[in-house]
Amino acid sequence: MKELRVAMVGYGFMGRAHSNAYKRLNDFFPLQHRPVLKVACGRNAEKTRTFAKVWGYERVEPDWQKAVEAADVDLVDICTPNDTHMEIAIAAARAGKMVLCEKPLARNVAEAETMVEVIEKAGVPNMVWYNYRRVPAITLAKQLIDEGRIGKPFHYRGNFLQDWTISPEVPQGGAGLWRLDVQAAGSGVTGDLLAHNIDAAHYLNGPITRVVAKAETFVKERKHVLTGKVEPVGIDDACLFIAEFANGSLGLFEATRYARGHKALKTLELNGSDGSLKFDLEEMEYLDYFEYKSESHVRGWRRIHVTNSEHPYMDRYWVPGLVIGYEHSFINALADFVKGIETGVPVQPDFRNALQTQKVCEAVLTSAREGRWVETGATA
């Protein structure tokens, strides 16, 4: 078995989720590579040490530049705030390392384009962690579409509803709260949540060509953790957009952190001439499917409990009826990435693919700012 020596940059929520994937990969997937947690790297020395100890990283490296260039590292995983993705990814690619980058790829299209250019020049394997493509129910949705079960698509919907920033007492900035700081995050819900929905839409329904959007910042000022002062909030708290897809269908997207009662309601629905599909991340074991060709008196939305061995990835886990969770989407994504290395067929979404999502995000933000329809650059 070949070693796949990992340098992890960042120790937050994503640092944990990715570490878990590396550690568990070989328990479930028969592969020729074995991840080795080599280096943990982060700004806060103590936190990095604790993180490394819990997850079993062999050593700690305070200087990310040394970490990504280390001779005993094959793969760099970027789990830091968005404002650091570009420089770390570029350094890693230039050092010839494989690069796995947490989504969104960057704060904006300019950064993302630079990253794509460098990584493609370096020719290193790369992936962006749009992990939800590897939720079995979503992978199954893709399979059903590819089997021709949905027919001509008319409508696509994607929501990502949360409610954790409603209180004006929640501050912005710093560890854990950088997602509210526009400097660190680039945007608010657009990059954090809509990006996931856009990636899923691209995966299932193809390119988005035009958008018109509306964004809102409900809480205009919040205390900034780093400065200690009340400062204007630069992110979008909520963002909604209407989309045209290249295939002629219409899209409706919404993300917010102000939808009381929803914690991670990431939904998708696709309606086509021959069938429809629905999914909700809060009950991710289900895919709902409506088949038009059924006899008319027994037509109905069927809840597929996506836990059978014939469902994507599920033969690797337990027995039918027993659910896996959020974290397994990362294990599945990693398995596909490693399989990509082993077979030479690169996994998606890579940096170039994620750039297209970035372009839609930017078109959305531009549209919201300028109050007009904006092209994404993709063509029908």
Q: What residues between 308 and 327 interact with a second copy by CB under 8 A?
A: 308, 310-311, 317-327
Least distance CB 365 / a second copy (angstroms): 15
The edge-to-edge listing of strands for the beta sheet with 33-41 is 59-60, 33-41, 2-9, 75-78, 98-101, 126-128
Among the listed ranges 80-88, 199-207, 247-255, 344-352, the one in contact with a second copy (CB under 8 A) is 247-255
* Alpha carbon distances (Å) from 231 to 155, 222, 224, 227: 40, 6, 6, 9
Q: Does 302 bind a second copy (CB under 8 A)?
A: yes
Among 282, 342, 345, 380, binds a second copy (CB under 8 A): 282
170 contacts 177 by C-beta, under 8 angstroms: yes
Q: Does 304 bind a second copy (CB under 8 A)?
A: yes
Least distance CB 312 / a second copy (angstroms): 9
268 contacts 278 by C-beta, under 8 angstroms: yes
Cα distance between residue 268 and residue 145, in whole Å:
14
By C-beta, is 126 or 376 nearer to a second copy?
A: 376
Q: How many residues bind a second copy (CB under 8 A)?
A: 92
**What number of other Cβ atoms are within 10 A of residue 232's Cβ?**
11
Cα distance between residue 365 and residue 215, in whole Å:
8
Least distance CB 113 / a second copy (angstroms): 28
Buried b / exposed e across 27-54, counting CB within 10 Å, b at 16+?
Answer: ebbebebebbbbbbbbeeeeebbebbee
Touching a second copy, residues 127-146 (CB under 8 A): 140, 143-144
Closest CA to 351 of 138, 76, 130: 130
Cα distance between residue 362 and residue 380, in whole Å:
19
Q: Does 23 bind a second copy (CB under 8 A)?
A: yes
Among 35, 125, 186, 275, binds a second copy (CB under 8 A): 275
Q: Does 245 bind a second copy (CB under 8 A)?
A: no
Q: Does 242 bind a second copy (CB under 8 A)?
A: yes
By C-beta, is 119 or 150 nearer to a second copy?
A: 150
Least distance CB 355 / a second copy (angstroms): 25
Among the listed ranges 113-121, 290-298, 337-345, 352-360, the one in contact with a second copy (CB under 8 A) is 290-298
By C-beta, is 114 or 308 nearer to a second copy?
A: 308
Cα distance between residue 215 and residue 63, in whole Å:
37
* Alpha carbon distances (Å) from 1 to 28, 33, 34, 35, 173: 15, 5, 6, 10, 42
Touching a second copy, residues 161-220 (CB under 8 A): 161-164, 166, 212-214, 216, 218
User: Who's near 90: CB < 8 A, 6+ residues apart?
Assistant: 114, 115, 118, 119
Least distance CB 166 / a second copy (angstroms): 6
By C-beta, is 33 or 149 nearer to a second copy?
A: 149
Among the listed ranges 61-69, 81-89, 156-164, 332-340, the one in contact with a second copy (CB under 8 A) is 156-164
By C-beta, is 231 or 274 nearer to a second copy?
A: 274
Q: Does 49 bind a second copy (CB under 8 A)?
A: no
By C-beta, is 242 or 246 nearer to a second copy?
A: 242
The full length of the chain comes to 380
As given in the structure block, the two tokens for residue 238 are: 């909520």
Q: Does 235 bind a second copy (CB under 8 A)?
A: no
Q: Does 286 bind a second copy (CB under 8 A)?
A: yes
Backbone angles phi, psi at 356, to 5 degrees: -65, -40
